[in-house]
Copies of this chain bind each other. A is one copy, B any other.
Amino acid sequence: MGTPLSSDTTTSAAATITTGPIAGSHKHHLVVDHLRVPRRRIELTNGDHLDVYDTSGPYTDDAADIDVERGLAPTRDSWGRPAPIDGASTQLAWARAGIVTDEMRFIAAREGVDAELVRSEVAIGRAVIPANHRHPESEPMIIGKAFAVKINANIGNSAVTSSIAEEVEKMVWATRWGADTIMDLSTGKDIPMTREWILRNSPVPVGTVPIYQALEKVNGDPTKLTWEIYRDTVIEQAEQGVDYMTVHAGVLLRYVPLTARRVTGIVSRGGSIMAAWCLAHHEESFLYTHYDELCEIFRRYDITFSLGDGLRPGSIADANDEAQFAELRTLGELTTRAKAFGVQVMIEGPGHVPMHKIAENVRLEEELCEEAPFYTLGPLATDIAPAYDHITSAIGAAMIAQAGTAMLCYVTPKEHLGLPNRDDVKVGVITYKIAAHSADLAKGHPRAQERDDALSTARFEFRWTDQFNLALDPDTAREYHDETLPAEPAKTAHFCSMCGPKFCSMRISADVRAYAEENGLVTAEDIDRKLTEEMAAKSAEFAESGGRVYLPLEATADR
């Protein structure tokens, strides 16, 4: 099933899709038998290169033939798929059985780790590989604390705004800049059609919140929802290839009144839908009572649970309260039940949390939910900066990822105010790449610092073009530089607009280095010896060699 891509929509998405490599880089593939693992190779002007993790799919590959009406090649269909184990056709079941799947081997190459690490982390449920069999276009990736921190970008139309073509381009655009997964949160018209376009063209796993579409089927009245309507929606989305689904099965009837005294009540849409249903019917949530049936569906496709935190705090005041942690305890119970079916699970987390309450969220999640990967929305470290909530939340996101969160859901500058446009999506993704990478550094991820060192070395050596190209966003870095010093020779000039041509601290540092090397100064002892020996004698020598440095350079700037 699924809506055919060729149906006559009034807008063709084709014209608006962004293709071609990011400045200064090109697609490179690690070839492991029949697996072609994508990397982005950044070529440097000194002849070196740096390969970085690449989420952008074929869109940045000059050799690829992109046709969004046809969709991406269903590459994973040609890979081997092991037989189901106890009815579970999932990465978790296979990992437990000691089987290293092609997806695991692909991921191992992609992350630069041993395939056995991938298998074992999946087997104990500390990592997930969201990979619905019906989404063969996706390039496998892993979410788990032992691996690079991942980020998700939410896209999706609402009743008020946006078209299908825009949403597909947002997906391509978000993955171009580094989104590891995307969630289609459409709530308006054409939900199935939008999703089909996104799935057939998405190189990354796609997540959804099926209750949104189910709600549309009952004209927006949560009290009219039924298990059957929900189940059919899940199956429809499963058949289309959705890789993970947010399920707010932890919003139990008895937890709902715990939110009554909150400053911001229930802010999760899914959570409030289920709260409304529970209160109206005075029955336990059908997501909870029918949870085992859901597990049976999920294990057929290998859909990963993203157990939603429907009672997450929507303000600093509500962080870490009883409503939030009561639900978390239930998510722990649901984790155990899903894993008994061989279904992969991750746990969604807050929201709004002041810095001093962040670590407790990770600690409790790990304790209550068998260390299932934590997937948090920010959290925002303060409520007072709407229009800058990508920043308020990047602070919380970096900290919660350092503490062990495996995936961060981005927040854009439009959070709380409106739907993100193309620019907002890019800013959100880059901001979250910063948070994720900062956490990788802090966690000592073995290869994370390579890129920092390469960029800082380029900066120190005045290789401006390399500095731009090694940046998360080369285009904006170059643009900002060119605002002050637009002339092309300034790209190789040994100064910048901060100090001007007459004086530059980086140049002095280069002199210090040359001096130390010429004089064999390596350790502090060398230096003490040298200073004692030559305190006065060396003065003239250095003044001579150093004097050269402070001659004004040719004025290469545009003024």
Contacts and interface: CB of A to CB of B under 8 A. Distances in A.
Residue in A386, A418, A527, A550 whose Cβ sees the most chain B Cβ within 10 Å: A386
Interface stretch (A115-123, A338-346, A390-398): A390-398
A237 interface: no
Given A382-B441, A418-B483, A315 B456 contact: yes
Residue in A259, A271, A457, A498 whose Cβ sees the most chain B Cβ within 10 Å: A498
B188 A500 contact: yes
Contacts of A256: 512
A223 B543 CA distance: 8
A345 B533 CA distance: 35
A317 B460 CA distance: 12
Contacts of A275: 508-509, 512
Given A506-B265, A527-B254, A498 B456 contact: no
A31 B417 CA distance: 37
A386 B158 contact: no
A286 interface: no
Interface in A465-497: 467-468, 470-473, 476-477, 479-481, 483-485, 496-497
Contact of A498 (B272, B418, B455): B418
Contacts of A264: 456-457, 459-460, 506, 509
B470 A384 contact: yes
A257 B521 contact: yes
A269 interface: yes
A258 B467 contact: no
A534 interface: yes
A160 B264 CA distance: 50
A281 interface: yes
Interface string A255-275: 011111111111111011101
Contacts of A485: 160, 418
A250 interface: no
A439 B280 CA distance: 41
A434 interface: yes
A512 B315 contact: no
Contact of A480 (B160, B414, B437): B414
Contact of A223 (B316, B459, B516, B547): B547
A290 interface: no
A34 interface: no
Contacts of A455: 383-384, 386
Contacts of A279: 511-512, 515, 542, 546
B387 A477 contact: yes
A126 B486 CA distance: 46
A220 interface: yes
A336 B470 CA distance: 44
Contacts of A381: 398, 434, 438, 441-442
A85 interface: no
A314 interface: yes
A269 B557 CA distance: 20
Contact of A481 (B259, B418, B500, B502): B418
A514 to B, nearest CB: 9
A356 B440 CA distance: 10
A510 interface: yes
Contacts of A416: 459, 467, 496, 498
A430 to B, nearest CB: 6
Given A257-B521, A527-B258, A438 B280 contact: no
A280 B543 contact: yes
A306 interface: no
Contacts of A457: 263-264
A188 B502 CA distance: 10
A275 B468 CA distance: 29
Residue in A279, A421, A476, A509 whose Cβ sees the most chain B Cβ within 10 Å: A509
A515 B279 CA distance: 9
Contacts of A158: 497-500
Contacts of A467: 386, 416
A402 interface: yes
A282 interface: yes
Given A159-B501, A257-B530, A394-B395, 13 more contacts: A254-B527, A259-B512, A317-B456, A354-B442, A388-B434, A391-B431, A392-B438, A394-B394, A414-B480, A414-B483, A414-B484, A418-B496, A419-B497
17 contacts: A223-B550, A254-B527, A257-B512, A262-B509, A267-B505, A269-B503, A269-B505, A275-B509, A281-B543, A283-B535, A314-B460, A316-B453, A352-B456, A356-B443, A387-B479, A388-B472, A395-B399
